[in-house]
Structure formats: C-alpha cells, structure tokens
Amino acid sequence: MSTHAVPIDIKEQGVIWLLPPYSWSIRHIARKLDLSPSVIARWRLELVQKGLLPENEKISSIDGDKWTPERRFSVVLETATLSEMELADYCRRTGLFVEQVKEWRVISIKAHEMKMTENRRADRELREAKSRLRDLEKELQRKDKALAEAAALLMLREKFNALWDNSGED
C-alpha cells in the first residue's frame, strides 16, 4: 500500500494505537494494518512533534533486549497496581510499550507458578523421605533389640555351658 494512499480512518486507528492506553509498537500496528513500519514511524514522529508522545531513545528497545530479568521483574512490581492509563504513562516515561510490560507480567506469573509447583513437589518428596527415614529407624531399632537379645542369649548359653563344664569336674 502506498504511503500517500492510506485512508484517513486507517491512519486514525494507527494513531489511536500509538497513543495510551494502547501504546502499541510500530511493528505491531504495521502488522495489524498491513502497512510498512516506516509509515507508522512517521505517524509516531508527527505525534512527537505535536507533543502528544515523548521523544525517547529507549523506544528502540522494542524487544526489551536491554532490560535485564531483574529490571523486568522490577517493572512488573512497580506497575502491578497501576490502571491502564497510569501504566501507559509509566511506559511513555520509561520508553517501554504496554504490551511489553503485560508480557513480562505473564512471564513472571508463569515463573512463579512453576516455582510453586516445584516447591510442592519438593515438599512432597521431603515428606516421603522423612516417612521412609522413620520407617528405617524403626526397623533399625527392632533389629538392634533382636541383636541385643541374641547376644544376651549367647552370653547365657556360654555361662550355662561353663557352669555345666565346671560341675562335671567336681
């Protein structure tokens, strides 16, 4: 589609998606509208020139590659209680996109769920191991008693034999 032949309603929709609360990425809007990302970038530049969007260098980190996992988690925590409008404002100030933060939130939740599942599995294994240990300790005590009893019987037999041997000589 030619850049000059973009219908007004499509441009309006693209501009709406560039602004909060959407704050969608240029590539995402380009895919949705089946336009070149450069057309959407020009619309974004127009919004920046009108003062409707901040000019921010960090906007190029669309994939979040420059954001460490710790920083991403920090962003998720900072934005957890924000409304859509507050989240869009936060994203404008930090050079992020709302969809990035939402994706990071989903990833954080999944990681937490995986950790909870691992913890439950580890707790179950620990309980089973403790139960097995108790059973083994009981078995050991039983065998210790049996061994002590057998040793006592052997000692008694030795004493008994020693007594009979001594009484035969008298």
Query: pLDDT tens-digit profile of 60-98?
Result: 334 445 678 888 888 898 899 999 999 988 888 888 888
Share of the chain above pLDDT 90, in %: 26
Write out pLDDT tens, residues 121-150: 999 999 999 999 999 999 999 999 999 999
pTM to 2 decimal places: 0.41
Please give the share of the chain, as a percent, with pLDDT higher than 70. Answer: 86
pLDDT 10s digits, 9-65: 899 999 888 887 777 888 889 899 999 888 888 898 888 888 887 766 344 334 445
Q: How far is the first Cα of the chain from the last one, in angstroms, to the nearest whole number?
A: 127
Residues sharing a CB contact under 8 Å with residue 54, sequence separation 6 or more, in sequence order: 48, 92, 93
CB atoms within 10 A of CB 36: 15
